[in-house]
């Protein structure tokens, strides 16, 4: 489908008014008589997400009301008004000029995101209602954010049959070409020659046309340095510790970290942020074959730390470890990893929150502020030092899957931090999937944390 966009400015655009229950009487009093009578007759109460097209005196369409709900309802959702894009009749609409600027920005972005349809395999009806970019809103920024989110969703939604390591590489290459970035790829046995043994070990069991690889993209010539590392496990069988079928069904999304950093990278490059960006994506398929790595193996890593394999289904942290170690060698000002890493994170905070880890209180505060502004909720988790012993098995430097089932997201984050040190570092353990439809977020792949990070970049990196 075409990239979601705003309608061209149109003086005849239909009025679109966002209404709370407490402001309903005033909103009705301001309507033309025919529209007001219709709204009263329909019993419109301005409930969250309620949409009411309004007639004019000639029987045509005058405009529409969209309910925002009361304080409790608004606290339970986001992009409340954006669902109107899929409910309104065909036409071009414009928000009331008196709409609160923050609400106008969230609604405008939500409208673009609500317009998304994944139609690669089956035709999907796109909304016919279009929105004029509200005055005072940075429409170009919202377009860039939406385009990054669309990229992330498309990559996650594409099944592994069409999104293996080579296809993920092609998506990164297309992005690099569009924005003038440079890209290098290390593939197959070359990973061993380049001292990336964990990436090779996890991906070596896959078919030859799905060989493991490290994608390395660079953009920008000046400014602070930012390295994004995304887990690119294009399908995860669990390896020899084979997942049950019920757990394997969504494993096309196990490259959600890679999809999200590519989406964020697209936002950064489209907006021309004054920084030097590096994106590292270890792209593999965790398959089962005679060459698969085994429980009990002890593997070498790029950093020189040995890793005991207690579960081949804890492979994401292994491929990230080599990529983080490589990224840390250049001492970037900030390094961030994003990964669909642990079920423990989903159990802890559910599918709607992006848990993140950082040792820097100022960075955590900046990310949280960005999340609130971007309607992209996050939750800080602790790098809890007393749990370090849980990832130290004795027979090797590190354990990839500590027994006991406790604090699984934290121990995974501590494992990754060992490879990122001493660089300033944040880690996101995301879910990358929306299990049921919501305004601006259809069921399926979804970006988590990227918009929050984009909003936080000025504070995180001192950007103007």
| Residue 464: predicted pLDDT | 81
| Contact (Cβ atoms closer than 8 angstroms) between residue 65 and residue 17 | yes
| Residue 405: predicted pLDDT | 85
Q: Is 204 a catalytic residue?
A: no
Average pLDDT over residues 307-335: 98
How many residues make up the chain in this entry? Answer: 464
- What is the Cα–Cα distance from 211 to 140, expressed in whole angstroms? 38
* Secondary structure letter of residue 61 according to DSSP: E
Residue 1: is its pLDDT beyond 70?
no
Q: Which of 32, 139, 44, 49 has its CA nearest to residue 88?
A: 49
CA 259 vs. chain centroid, Å, equals: 7
Q: State pLDDT tens for residues 386-415.
A: 999 999 999 999 999 999 889 999 999 999
pLDDT band per the 50, 70, 90 thresholds, residue 128: very high
Average pLDDT over residues 365-369: 98
Mean pLDDT of the chain: 97
Average pLDDT over residues 99-118: 97
**Active-site entry in 266, 278, 317, 418:** 317
- What is the Cα–Cα distance from 7 to 1, expressed in whole angstroms? 16
Q: Is 317 a catalytic residue?
A: yes
Q: State pLDDT tens for residues 156-194.
A: 999 999 999 999 999 999 999 999 999 999 999 999 999
| Residue 404: predicted pLDDT | 87
| Contact (Cβ atoms closer than 8 angstroms) between residue 107 and residue 136 | no
Angstrom CA distances, 114 to 121, 157, 199, 324, 454, stand at 19, 16, 37, 35, 20
**Active-site entry in 36, 141, 243, 380:** 243
Average pLDDT over residues 244-254: 96
Average pLDDT over residues 190-211: 98
What beta strand segments (E) does 101-223 contain? 129-131, 182-187, 213-219
Could you give phi then psi for residue 306, rounded to 5 degrees? -90, 145
- What is the Cα–Cα distance from 261 to 178, expressed in whole angstroms? 16
User: 145: helix, coil or strand?
Assistant: helix
Q: State pLDDT tens for residues 289-308.
A: 999 999 999 999 999 999 99
Residue 2: is its pLDDT beyond 80?
no
Residue 263: is its pLDDT beyond 90?
yes
- Three-state SS letters, 107-133: HHHHHHHHCCCCCCCCCCCCCCEEEEC
SS3 content of the chain, % helix, strand, coil (to 5): 40, 20, 40
Q: Which of 337, 340, 373, 174 has its CA nearest to residue 266?
A: 174
Element (H, E) at 191: helix 190-193
């Amino acid at each position: 489908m075409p990239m979601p966009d705003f309608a061209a400015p149109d003086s005849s655009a239909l009025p679109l008014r966002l209404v709370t229950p407490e402001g309903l009487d005033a909103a009705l009093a301001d309507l033309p008589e025919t529209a007001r009578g219709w709204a009263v007759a329909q019993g419109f109460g301005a409930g969250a997400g309620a949409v009411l097209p309004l007639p004019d005196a000639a029987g045509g369409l005058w405009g529409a009301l969209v309910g925002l709900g009361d304080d409790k309802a608004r606290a339970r959702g986001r992009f409340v008004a954006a669902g109107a894009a899929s409910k309104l009749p065909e036409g071009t609409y414009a928000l009331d000029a008196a709409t609160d600027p923050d609400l106008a920005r969230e609604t405008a972005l939500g409208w673009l995101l609500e317009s998304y349809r994944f139609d690669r395999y089956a035709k999907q009806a796109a909304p016919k209602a279009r929105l004029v970019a509200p005055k005072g809103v940075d429409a170009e920024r919202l377009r860039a954010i939406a385009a990054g989110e669309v990229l992330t969703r498309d990559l996650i939604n594409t099944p592994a049959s069409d999104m293996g390591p080579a296809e993920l590489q092609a998506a990164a290459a297309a992005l690099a070409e569009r924005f003038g970035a440079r890209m290098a790829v290390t593939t197959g046995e070359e990973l061993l020659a380049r001292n990336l043994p964990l990436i090779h070990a996890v991906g070596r069991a896959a078919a030859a046309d799905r060989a493991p690889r490290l994608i390395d993209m660079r953009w920008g010539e000046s400014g602070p340095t930012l390295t994004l590392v995304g887990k690119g496990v294009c399908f995860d069988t669990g390896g020899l510790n084979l997942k049950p079928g019920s757990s394997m069904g969504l494993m096309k999304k196990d490259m959600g970290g890679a999809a999200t950093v590519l989406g964020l990278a697209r936002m950064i490059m489209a907006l021309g942020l004054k920084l030097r960006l590096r994106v590292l994506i270890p792209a593999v398929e965790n398959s089962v074959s005679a060459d698969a790595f085994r429980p009990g193996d002890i593997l070498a890593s790029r950093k020189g730390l040995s890793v005991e394999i207690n579960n081949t289904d804890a492979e994401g942290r292994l491929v990230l470890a080599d990529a983080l170690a490589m990224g840390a060698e250049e001492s970037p000002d900030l390094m961030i990893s994003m990964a669909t890493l642990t079920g423990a994170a989903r159990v802890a905070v559910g599918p709607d929150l992006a848990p993140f880890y950082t040792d820097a209180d100022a960075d955590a505060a900046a990310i949280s502020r960005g999340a609130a502004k971007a309607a992209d909720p996050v939750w800080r988790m602790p790098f809890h030092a007393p749990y370090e012993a849980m990832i130290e098995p004795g027979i090797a430097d590190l354990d990839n899957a500590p027994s006991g089932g406790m604090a699984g997201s934290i121990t995974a984050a501590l494992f990754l931090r060992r490879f990122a040190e001493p660089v300033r570092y944040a880690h996101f353990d995301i879910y990358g999937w929306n299990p049921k439809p919501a305004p601006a977020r259809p069921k399926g792949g979804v970006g988590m944390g990227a918009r929050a990070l984009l909003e936080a970049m000025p504070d995180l990196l001192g950007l103007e």
